[in-house]
Amino acid sequence: MIKPYQRTALALEELLDRSQPGEVLPSEPKLAEQLGVSRATLREAMRALEDRGRIVRRQGVGTYVRPTIIEAGLEELVSIESMAASVGLDVEMGDSEIHRRNANPDEAELLGVDKVVEIRRVILAEGVPVAYLVDTIGEGLIQEAVLSREFHGSVLDVLLKGGEPELEYSTSEISAVSAEGRVADRLRVSEGSVLLQFEASLFTKDGELVDLSQSYFLPGTFKFHVVRRVGRR
């Protein structure tokens, strides 16, 4: 026998099918009234849909229809904008901050500079925050005029468009982390929510390190894969 929350989940599925990715659903009281169910039953149904990846719930913001999944391989370094374009999805830069400051000891040693530019920004897909990116580069690597006029969210794309320095490869460490403080706030998730983190270093053709980056992605919005060769002994 079908349970009340399962019947409610089916009704919600029909509503989601008529909605656009990224669209905000009505508030819980309105939705419960619309479906003619208790709020307890509605919450149980929404938990089931969240577990299946149909919706995204953000504390203090609301419930969204899950945006289109952005899928890409890890064999090639490309920007989020390029990944999104490959699946026909438009993304844009949300809140951003650009700070010029003295390099800390680690940055000074790795980048070989005294002053750095730190670029923090939120990436939106269909109006919903899906990634929070932080890049630290040496002052002067990208001209201030270029950052103010031509920067739309991707440091990589700006460097590739400029042609100098000639980029060659990136090394990355990938881990699951808990959202904390500023990152949780910018992505509109509860502290402790699980995020996918990339810590990357970008190198030129001459082996010079030019960019240190930290990228935080919402699971379920991004799907990464890699081709692995069979080892031979």
112 and 50, same domain (yes or no):
no
How are beta strands 194-204 and 209-217 bridged, if at all? antiparallel
Whether 233 is covered by a domain: the verdict is no
59 and 119, same domain (yes or no):
no
Whether 94 is covered by a domain: the verdict is yes
**Per-residue pLDDT tens listing for the chain (233 residues):** 678 888 898 888 888 888 877 788 888 889 899 999 999 999 888 888 877 667 877 766 688 787 677 888 888 888 888 888 887 788 899 999 999 999 999 999 999 999 999 999 999 987 888 899 999 999 989 988 888 888 888 999 999 988 889 999 999 999 999 999 999 999 988 888 889 999 999 999 999 999 999 999 987 778 888 888 898 77
pTM for this entry: 0.76
75 and 150, same domain (yes or no):
yes
Query: What domain range is 15 assigned to?
Result: 4-65
How are beta strands 209-217 and 115-125 bridged, if at all? unpaired
223: Cβ–Cβ under 8 A, 6 or more apart, which residues?
Answer: 69, 70, 71, 72
